[in-house]
Structure 1
């Protein structure tokens, strides 16, 4: 990959901070290499031919995330991400007709278990559980487990094969030698055109364990789940991506099939193919493999919106861990005109050792062990949150740390950044964008995200100019508009109350 890095570095080289519009030369060179293809079914492809190593990065971006879920099936987008590696009727099955019949038996036995649990009869529940286990074992005997993943890994995808789900999207990623492009086409068409939801209930148990690890046993996951629930009252960003435990436990394979039918389809897919590709030869191949994938649902707006917050919201969560505090403000979406200025403001507050909060709280007064700052949480396709997490040092109260965070934000809003400070932050932001454009995998991710979220992949390149145009007055303005007390939610992790000895009421002393 060293040759590739050197080649693309020539195409996209880091330049000094511009006085006005960012230097478009290197970006224009790379931008000109992007070729668009939209099939009749709506599937969008972005093809980028780059010289260098014979390697190709693939990312399929599905415009399906937790924002598309309804109450009762939270986490289903994430569940489907797991199922998307289970193969099709032609991949992963040793004998499809018999497996299909056995899957039907599993579904029926699961229905009996749900009925038994509703009855509350322990003997009926035990019997139903036993019947479900035997049916699942029978169905599993017809499965070539993990065959879909193994085909990609054996073709050179080991170490790069991945997927992720967020509030806004699901991503499917792999890098392969360029002589394996047709294999990827076949597998991806099978995934979205002929997928089979096999081993569903076993995978559901794995998702439940993932929730226990990421949320219920993790202080950060637990507090942030409560913070988002408090900050968003009606917008579906309030749904946790992993889902609620009660919803996960109630999933059925029919629920997942319905979710796929309602939300997946070619219209909601954007794929970037970056690296050693010849678009002229690749386009006919893409049409041959993907034209038959059903279009699926239109790219409709989500159900639900959030009214403007008019007063501060607070919540405390008890958990046996060191206390910390999280502050969040509603901020505009990626496509909004203020997005770049908010990005710069957030970077001035956090992101590096020289940032305002890091310098004040960690390096100068030592009140914080760590300060974490980010924007676009839990997503940025719609209006999301800017987030500051303060982890106090021993002996420092979370209220003290919160007050110091408030002081630094107020100071930046009143005085604005210095010229040197602002230039440094913009230089780092620009370097990060350039860094993404130097890497095939990161470039594929950047292009698909901007195409899906802003309607035009070219906005990824325009972002450099948008960041360069942000002024100190812009920073002061967006801090004043979005970072006020009435627009924020504060969540604090606290130690659980201690039980009094000998069953005495808490706070009563022995005498």
Structure 2
């Protein structure tokens, strides 16, 4: 479902593809192609190493050098230049499966270098961080229409403009459309009000923290 969600939210950017590719692509990749890809992208100039803990540089650096120094140097791969075009209307996708209903909804947001990045972090904490957050209180505790509700920012990544997304697991006998995010109903930043039905998943405009407005995205859910 998440694969279909991202494929609907994006039309050009690589974020629309699964991290390892589609099954039809994986099954046709040759050993030569895989080796060529590895030699091009898995090079020292394209590696970031993070070391965390109570460490001493005098002991840590020799270990890093032992494992990474033998990797041959190579040019850094050319940067990704594809820019996702603006989404101008709501999108939706429905997946019909004999499974637990699941609702996910997202909004386009800037990358982590944008001045509003910290605003999205704050929104995520206030809106959906834990059982005291507004989303959980509304859908799970007060209305009892969802068994779980959570939100997250920077999906599927934040190096490039990604998504601010929320999901909900509906309670038994709850129609999926009741889990639609209510926060945009009276939003002055959004002129499109979404009313998804149990047979649709929608993408819609979202209220933005400041001028770099979040733009329409995608909703998705499987239907029993």
The bucket for the TM-score relative to the shorter chain is: 0.7 to 0.9
Secondary structure of the 1:346 match is helix
User: TM-score normalized by structure 2?
Assistant: 0.81
Q: How many pairs were matched up?
A: 206
In the other structure, the counterpart of 1:454 is: none
Q: Which protein is bigger by CA-based radius of gyration? A: 1
In the other structure, the counterpart of 1:45 is: none
Which of residues 317, 336, 350 in structure 1 aligns to 2:114? 336
Report the CA distance between 1:483 and its aligned residue: 4.7
Report the CA distance between 1:326 and its aligned residue: 1.2
Report the CA distance between 1:270 and its aligned residue: 2.2
Indicate if the aligned counterparts of 1:327 and 1:488 stay in contact, CA closer than 8 A.
yes
Structure 2 runs not aligned, ≥5 long: 189-206
Q: Does residue 327 of the first structure (1) align with residue 56 of the second (2)?
A: no
Indicate if the aligned counterparts of 1:392 and 1:398 stay in contact, CA closer than 8 A.
yes
Where do residues 174-213 of structure 1 align in structure 2 (5 Å cutoff)? none
Indicate if the aligned counterparts of 1:268 and 1:299 stay in contact, CA closer than 8 A.
yes
Indicate if the aligned counterparts of 1:349 and 1:355 stay in contact, CA closer than 8 A.
yes
In the other structure, the counterpart of 1:384 is: 162
Report the CA distance between 1:278 and its aligned residue: 4.0
In the other structure, the counterpart of 2:220 is: 491
Post-superposition CA distance 1:448-502 (Å, at most 9, x none): xxxxxxxxxxxxxxxxxxxxxxxxxxxx751786456xx121213112xxxxxxx
User: TM-score normalized by structure 1?
Assistant: 0.37
In the other structure, the counterpart of 1:348 is: 126
Report the CA distance between 1:343 and its aligned residue: 1.3
Q: Does residue 229 of the first structure (1) align with residue 7 of the second (2)?
A: yes
Report the CA distance between 1:281 and its aligned residue: 6.1
Q: Distance in 2 between matches of 1:275 and 1:265?
A: 25
Report the CA distance between 1:313 and its aligned residue: 0.7
Q: Distance in 1 between matches of 2:173 and 2:66?
A: 65
Indicate if the aligned counterparts of 2:208 and 2:214 stay in contact, CA closer than 8 A.
no
Indicate if the aligned counterparts of 2:116 and 2:212 stay in contact, CA closer than 8 A.
no
Indicate if the aligned counterparts of 2:110 and 2:212 stay in contact, CA closer than 8 A.
no
Report the CA distance between 1:284 and its aligned residue: 6.4
Secondary structure of the 1:491 match is strand
Post-superposition CA distance 1:416-448 (Å, at most 9, x none): xxxxxxxxxxxxxxxxxxxxxxxxxxxxxxxxx
Where do residues 77-476 of structure 1 align in structure 2 (5 Å cutoff)? 223-275=1-53, 277-280=55-58, 283=61, 290-402=68-180, 405-406=181-182, 408-410=183-185
Q: Distance in 2 between matches of 1:277 and 1:305?
A: 40
In the other structure, the counterpart of 1:93 is: none
Indicate if the aligned counterparts of 1:329 and 1:482 stay in contact, CA closer than 8 A.
no
Higher RCO (C-alpha 8 Å, min separation 6): 2
Q: Distance in 2 between matches of 1:490 and 1:288?
A: 47
Indicate if the aligned counterparts of 1:349 and 1:409 stay in contact, CA closer than 8 A.
no
Measured on the aligned residues, the alpha-carbon RMSD in Å equals 2.5
Q: Distance in 2 between matches of 1:355 and 1:278?
A: 39
Indicate if the aligned counterparts of 1:349 and 1:373 stay in contact, CA closer than 8 A.
yes
Structure 1 228/274 Cα, relative in aligned 2: closer, same or farther at 3 Å? closer
